[in-house]
């Protein structure tokens, strides 16, 4: 009896198992059919490989107008970009592509030759010499950051973006007021730019200030990989003549020893760059004594950066939102630049000499974060020199207030002083 019951139970279990497997098979078939219909309906692309480059697309050479911009902005270490005209539209060509560039090239800083021999650090004191570090990243027209787009308030511009990356792309014009479908919100207000495709962004500029463009679709990856560049919009009229203008983009990277590829998910950054370079490979900012200088700082990193300059007092005159009204501007010599923000500072370069210009988070002025004890290290990271060339190298140092000149005042201008003579 017990044997018969056991046989019936086993038979019932096998039948139940067969029925369940049959149902599961039907569900799988149904799921496959649904996925095929969904793919056909929504044009689903096969999953893309997660790689640095796209073997099917050869990166384009920089556009012919690279280095020929008809402007006044100097983006230290990055060549400018000129534009074509299509009627009344200024056309800028940008290739989003995989790049390789040196963060540091192992050479001495260009300001080394400006230092008097008696002031140089004696040989053997510095324990860590210059590191050569190359990086594989994504950029525009061969560099990260990409070229600066220099335009005027009232211009109509067109950004022609070609995607030479292995992944989809959209490009956001950060800080600019424009139509929704030109804002770079890929997958929301516009289609994404698939690999190999080209898309035009076109809009009129109704504002002025320091804006920037950057990869927006898959935001963390595209921006962390280096897809960004400046858009400088000059006002219809400056309150004062500005003699020298510079743009610096702040970025940070996590690169392990012996590697070229940055770790995009780590927050433990060990390389910090001005315009894609770390000291001592960052070019010197050179101005003449008496120049009115404006430095535009853009932060495309995950951290804030308090940027400090020695020997001068500046005024914060603008943000990514545009010019700050004169009544709201304030003096200082350290400006904190938040992630996704820009800060414009302006000063009279009255004080001749070699002046430090650097991030005041002290971990951000060394390279590779060497293991402790660190010993004596040369300058690295976000560090360079502002070289104020004296009018008279033999003149005795004198503070301008001794001559009745308050160069730290927002209202002071050498131009206005000349007019009153």
Q: What is the pLDDT of residue 416?
A: 57
3-state per-residue secondary structure call for the chain: CHHHHHHHHHHHHHHHHHHHHHHHHHHHHHHHHHHHHHHHHHCCCCCCCCCCCCCCCCCCCCCCCECCCCCCEECCCCCCECCEEECCEEEEEEEEEEEEEEEEECCCCHHHHHCCHHHCCCCCCCCECCCEEEEEEEEECCECCCCCEEEECCCEEEEEEEECCCCCECEEEECCCCCHHHCCCECCCECCECCCCEEEEEEECCCCEEEEEEECCCHHHHHHCCCEEEEEEECCCCCCCCCEEEEEEEEEECCCCCCCCCCCCCCCCCEEEECCECECCCCCEEEECCCEEEEEEEECCCCCEEEEECCCCEEEEEECCEECCHHHCEEECEEEECCCCEEEEEEECCCCEEEEEEECCHHHHCCCCCCCCCCCECCCECEEEEEEECCCCCCCCCCHHHHCCCCCCCCCCHHHHHHHC
* Greater pLDDT, 191 or 37: 191
Q: What is the pLDDT of residues 118-173, one digit of tens each?
A: 999 887 787 666 789 999 999 999 999 999 999 999 999 999 999 999 999 999 99
Give the pLDDT band (50/70/90) at residue 17.
Answer: very low
Give the pLDDT band (50/70/90) at residue 6.
Answer: very low
Q: What is the pLDDT of residue 18?
A: 46
Give the pLDDT band (50/70/90) at residue 277.
Answer: very high
Q: What is the pLDDT of residues 174-187, one digit of tens each?
A: 999 999 999 999 99
Q: Rounded mean pLDDT of the chain?
A: 88
- Considering 34-48, 256-270, 337-351, the range whose residues carry the highest mean pLDDT is 337-351
Q: What is the CATH number of domain 73-389?
A: 2.60.40.420
Give the pLDDT band (50/70/90) at residue 377.
Answer: confident
* Greater pLDDT, 46 or 69: 69
Q: What is the pLDDT of residue 122?
A: 86
What are the residue ranges spanned by the domains of the chain? 73-389
What is the value of pTM for the model shown? 0.87
């Amino acid at each position: 009896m017990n044997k018969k019951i056991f046989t019936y139970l086993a038979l019932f279990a096998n039948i139940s198992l067969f029925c369940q497997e049959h149902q599961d098979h039907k569900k799988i078939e149904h799921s496959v059919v649904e996925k095929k219909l969904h793919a056909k309906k929504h044009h689903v692309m096969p999953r893309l490989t997660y790689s640095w480059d796209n073997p099917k697309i050869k990166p384009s050479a920089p556009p012919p107008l690279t280095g020929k911009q008809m402007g006044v902005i100097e983006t230290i270490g990055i060549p400018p970009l000129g534009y074509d005209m299509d009627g009344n539209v200024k056309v800028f060509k940008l290739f989003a592509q995989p790049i390789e560039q040196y963060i540091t090239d192992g050479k001495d800083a260009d300001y080394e030759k400006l230092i008097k021999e008696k002031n140089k650090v004696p040989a053997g004191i510095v324990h860590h010499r210059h590191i050569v570090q190359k990086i594989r990243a994504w950029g525009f027209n061969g560099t990260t950051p990409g070229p600066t787009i220099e335009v005027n308030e009232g211009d109509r511009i067109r950004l022609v973006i070609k995607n030479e990356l292995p992944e989809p792309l959209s490009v956001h014009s950060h800080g600019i007021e424009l139509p929704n479908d030109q804002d770079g919100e890929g997958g929301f207000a516009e289609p994404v730019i698939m690999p190999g495709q080209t898309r035009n962004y076109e809009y009129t500029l109704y504002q002025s200030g320091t804006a920037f463009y950057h990869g927006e679709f898959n935001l963390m990856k595209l921006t962390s990989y280096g897809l960004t560049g400046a858009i400088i919009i000059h006002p219809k009229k400056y309150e004062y003549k500005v003699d020298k203008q510079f743009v610096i983009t702040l970025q940070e990277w996590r690169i392990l020893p012996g590697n070229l590829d940055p770790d995009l998910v780590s927050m433990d950054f060990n390389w910090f760059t001005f315009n894609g370079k770390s000291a001592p490979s960052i070019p010197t900012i050179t101005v003449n004594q008496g120049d009115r200088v404006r430095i535009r700082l853009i932060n495309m990193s995950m951290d804030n950066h308090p940027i400090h300059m020695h020997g001068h007092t500046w005024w914060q005159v603008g943000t990514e939102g545009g010019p700050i009204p004169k009544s709201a501007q304030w003096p200082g010599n350290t400006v904190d630049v938040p992630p996704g923000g820009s800060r414009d500072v302006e000063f009279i370069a009255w004080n001749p000499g070699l002046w430090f210009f650097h991030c005041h988070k002290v971990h951000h002025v060394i390279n590779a974060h060497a293991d402790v004890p660190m010993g004596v290290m040369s300058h690295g990271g976000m560090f360079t020199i502002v070289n104020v060339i004296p009018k008279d190298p033999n003149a005795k140092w004198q503070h301008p207030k001794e001559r009745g000149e308050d160069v730290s005042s927002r209202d002071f201008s050498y131009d206005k002083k000349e007019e009153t003579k």
